[in-house]
Structure 1
Amino acid sequence: MIALTLAEVVAATGGRLETVGTSATESTVVDGPVTTDSREVVPGGIFVAKRGEFDDGHRFAPGAVERGAALLIVERPLDLPVPQVVVADSVDALGALATEVVARVRALGRLRIVGVTGSNGKTTTKNLLRTVLEAVGPTVAARKSYNNEVGAPTTMLELTEQTEYLVAEMGASGVGEIARLIRMARPDVGIVLKVGLAHAGEFGGIEKTVQAKSEMVTDLLATDVAVLNADDPRVVPMADVTAARVVWFGLGERADVRATDVVVHARGTSFTVTVPGGESARVRFSVLGEHHVMNALAAIAASLELGVPLATVVSGLERVTLAEQWRMQVMGGRDDITVINDAYNASPDSVAAALKTLAQVKRPEGRTIAVLGEMSELGEFSGEEHDRIGLLAVRLGVSQLVVVGEGARRLHITAINEGSWDGESAYVETADEAFELVTSTVRPGDTVLVKSSNSAGLRHLGDRLGEWFA
């Protein structure tokens, strides 16, 4: 974090300063990393004691002090020998502090901000942008999927006076949440990737999901840029609710930044990108899956709007070999057995894309095995969407479907009803059972996909299979 006095932290958060038992004063300066996880505190760091659904961060404040915290942001005074800023709500205070830091760095005149949202692809696009922009200037981007009311401001607080680019991943589970993040750091370039059924149960329907994602562009200024998916009929109308200049990306004729000649293979995806002005380039993209081409196009469009030359953008994209751990992560290799671990998240769109990729990259002599768990947070759409994936698996000719857990069982039943009644679809209760089934039936040359929502925990099964066949 940039250097602030305790008085400035108090002013930003609306709290009050407690320094009893310490030598700190209002003029004491703090500039360490900010975290809500006491295990991540480093000497000189700032610990925000956040109340959670199942626990209270105040319980872990002593551990933060032991690790060298220089400041605690708390909702009640604690008997600990470090200065404390006492606030009404620690999450609100975290956001307010981020807002102040972003404003101060903005005022220096060099910071440009890219906001990324969408039902799928946020983390991949953020990582692609980080790789491209780091080549041209100091860049801050979220670790992992830090995109909510805690993760996003924590990322913003990593800004320094030298930062030139902030890539802010902005997720939501309800209307108003992206707008809240936008108020902390209004983007110069706002990206909307796709609007699908991911988290639709939490939002209360697809219309609410569209409304929430639209918040990325509704407050942009005429001098800003909205980078929108020209191929998504739910994203296209967002051009009518923004004052910003719109840049379209996609595969169709409407796109300003367009991909053609897309070729998918086991080592990634290659495509030709054409950009405004007619310049084009061949991109040899090592991230597996045709669906990631759209994320690459969004990153290209945003980077060009920030003034990065196309050759530099392409070079950056080609350096990326993995979108993120547990996202289309290629593992295995023994006996030509490939394991694709894509089990960090799962929406109907991303599962469909992963299954299509599985069919595209299989070896001619090998089979395809899809290990699928529950797609969570779909609400009223859960049943029909699991049905749809079961149908798709059969129609794509997946050799062996392994369905894991009660939440995904309907997918298995649908596959049987569609014709996979002779053992092509198997149902197991646990990841351990799935491991035993796959390892006992896999053959040399097979390709295995592991895909589920994070809550199903199959990412660890994917790791286990990848190590087993390494």
Structure 2
Amino acid sequence: MIPVSCGEIADAVNGELVGVTPSAVVDGAVVIDSRAAGPGGLFVALPGENVDGHDYVGTATAAGVTAALTTRPVEGSPCIVVADPQAALGALARLLVSRLPDLTVIALTGSSGKTSTKDLIGQLIRSHGETVVPEGSFNNEIGHPLTALQATERTKYLVAEMGARHQGDIAYLAGITPPKIGLVLNVGTSHIGEFGTQDNIAVAKGELIEAVTAGGTAVLNADDHRVAAMRSRTPERVLTFGEAPEADIRAEGVKLDAEGQPAFTLRIGDFSGDIQLQFIGEHYVSNALAAAAVGSAVGMTPEQLADGLNAATRVSAARMELTERADGVTIINDAFNANPDSTRAALKALVAIGRSRGARTWAVLGEMLELGDASADEHDAIGRLVVRLDVNRLLVVGPGAKPIHLGASLEGSWGNESAYVDSIPEALELLRSELHAGDVVLVKSSKGSKLRSLADALIGEDVQ
């Protein structure tokens, strides 16, 4: 991060200096984990349900941090005492971003695909200047400012992924890093348990478009009518992407290859180029088009965009991550997160891969969280889709996901085509006993359902 004095930090966060002089400089990393603390850095002592960061201020001090953001003085440690360290973290990030007038903030949100699209954008635009991209899914009130604080005077682009569980969340995050380019991918059913309706989700996602700064660009999905309607929420330039004929950046002739990887023709104005993505699942087409639209907004040529999309590879783990085991079993790990839209896309990719190989397909599915009153119906619909797609075996894991099994049974699944188990150990035992060489296994659930541990276990072993 750019150097800043403790006095300037205290002024920005309405803090009190205790045991540290105003002239002391923070020029190292800002961290919330004392194990990552280092000389010249700033440790933010966040209170948690199980761990209180204040218990580790001494460790951070011993590691050489200039100061710690705390809610109370800590004996023997230089502190900037504030009412709310999390809010102070956001205020500090806003201060430092405001000191980088040449920084272009690219912010994106959506019900699904944020992290994968963020990774794609980073790969496309890095050739045009130093770029900061969040690791994993750092998209909340803590991860977002921590990412912003990585920017320096050399940084040209800051890619900011923004999530939301409530109205106002995105407006808050956008206030920390005002976006020059704002991208909305889609409005699905993720977090509908919090928002109530998709229209309410659209209101929240559209806060990003309202935050686009003067002279900036709003990038909207022409295939999603709720997103397309956000055009009315900004006076700035609008760039659209999708398969719709009116989209500025569009795909034509989409098809999946034998590995479930999409190919299509990219059209931008008079330009036409062949794209073969190195990602599994048709849903990556929309992600790729969104990334290309952002690249176009920062001045990349269509030729550069096509070359970049063809060269792009997966960055974040557990997102349609394909592993071929030595015994011939293929595991598709997509257990980082799940909602109805992404689960449908993953199932279609599973079927395409199985069909191309003549292989038996398994869908191992856990609960899709935060669907509220729609949860039972959405899970039931996924079970029915599994049967309609003719997936060979369905294994449903956990009580919250049981309506998937019930939906499959009501749709016509019989015998052992669909099975239900209460726990991950039971699922692993069943799979160990029934998988054989050539099988293709999709593991998909929300992060909180913890099926990633099941996928990791399957990847790490062979059938005996």
- TM-score class, shorter-chain normalisation, is over 0.9
Cα contact 1:220–1:243 (8 A) shared by 2: no
Residues 404-454 of structure 1 show CA distances to partners (whole Å, capped at 9, x for unaligned) of 011101111111111112110001111122122122222322211000000
- Among candidates 200, 205, 229, match of residue 237 of structure 1: 229
**Partner residue, 1:398:** 391
What SS does structure 2 have at the residue aligned with 1:366? coil
What SS does structure 2 have at the residue aligned with 1:105? coil
Question: By how many angstroms is 1:317 displaced?
Answer: 2.6
Counterpart Cα distance in 2 of 1:219 and 1:113: 11
Amino acid at match of 1:405: G
Counterpart Cα distance in 2 of 1:243 and 1:220: 9
Cα contact 2:278–2:314 (8 A) shared by 1: yes
Question: By how many angstroms is 1:222 displaced?
Answer: 4.9
**Partner residue, 1:86:** 81
> TM-score of the superposition, structure 1-length normalised?
0.95
Cα contact 1:326–1:343 (8 A) shared by 2: yes
Question: By how many angstroms is 1:234 displaced?
Answer: 1.7
Cα contact 1:332–1:465 (8 A) shared by 2: no
Cα contact 1:332–1:468 (8 A) shared by 2: no
Counterpart Cα distance in 2 of 1:323 and 1:448: 21
Does residue 1:360 correspond to 2:372, yes or no?
Answer: no
What SS does structure 1 have at the residue aligned with 2:215? coil
Cα contact 2:260–2:352 (8 A) shared by 1: no
Question: Percent of aligned pairs with the same residue?
Answer: 45
**Partner residue, 1:162:** 154
Counterpart Cα distance in 2 of 1:370 and 1:427: 12
Cα contact 2:260–2:350 (8 A) shared by 1: no
Cα contact 2:72–2:81 (8 A) shared by 1: yes
Cα contact 1:73–1:86 (8 A) shared by 2: yes
Amino acid at match of 1:156: A
- Among candidates 92, 108, 118, match of residue 97 of structure 1: 92
**Partner residue, 1:29:** 25
Counterpart Cα distance in 1 of 2:326 and 2:262: 23
**Partner residue, 1:201:** 193
Question: By how many angstroms is 1:323 displaced?
Answer: 4.6
- Structure 2 residue ranges without an equivalent (≥5): none
Counterpart Cα distance in 1 of 2:100 and 2:48: 30
- Among candidates 345, 351, 356, match of residue 343 of structure 2: 351
Question: By how many angstroms is 1:267 displaced?
Answer: 6.1
Query: Where in structure 2 are the equivalents of 1:208-223 lying within 5 Å?
Result: 208-223=200-215
Cα contact 2:24–2:66 (8 A) shared by 1: no
- Structure 1 residue ranges without an equivalent (≥5): none
Question: By how many angstroms is 1:54 displaced?
Answer: 3.9
Cα contact 1:42–1:69 (8 A) shared by 2: yes
C-alpha root-mean-square deviation of aligned residues, in Å? 1.5
What SS does structure 2 have at the residue aligned with 1:380? helix
What SS does structure 2 have at the residue aligned with 1:246? strand
**Partner residue, 2:53:** 57
**Partner residue, 2:40:** 44
What SS does structure 2 have at the residue aligned with 1:143? coil
**Partner residue, 1:11:** 11
Counterpart Cα distance in 1 of 2:275 and 2:177: 31
Runs of 4+ more than 4 Å apart? none
What SS does structure 2 have at the residue aligned with 1:228? strand
> TM-score of the superposition, structure 2-length normalised?
0.96
**Partner residue, 1:183:** 175
Question: By how many angstroms is 1:192 displaced?
Answer: 0.2
Amino acid at match of 1:76: R
Counterpart Cα distance in 2 of 1:469 and 1:41: 40
Seen in structure 2, the aligned counterparts of structure 1 residues 203 and 64 have a Cα distance that, compared at 3 Å, is: farther
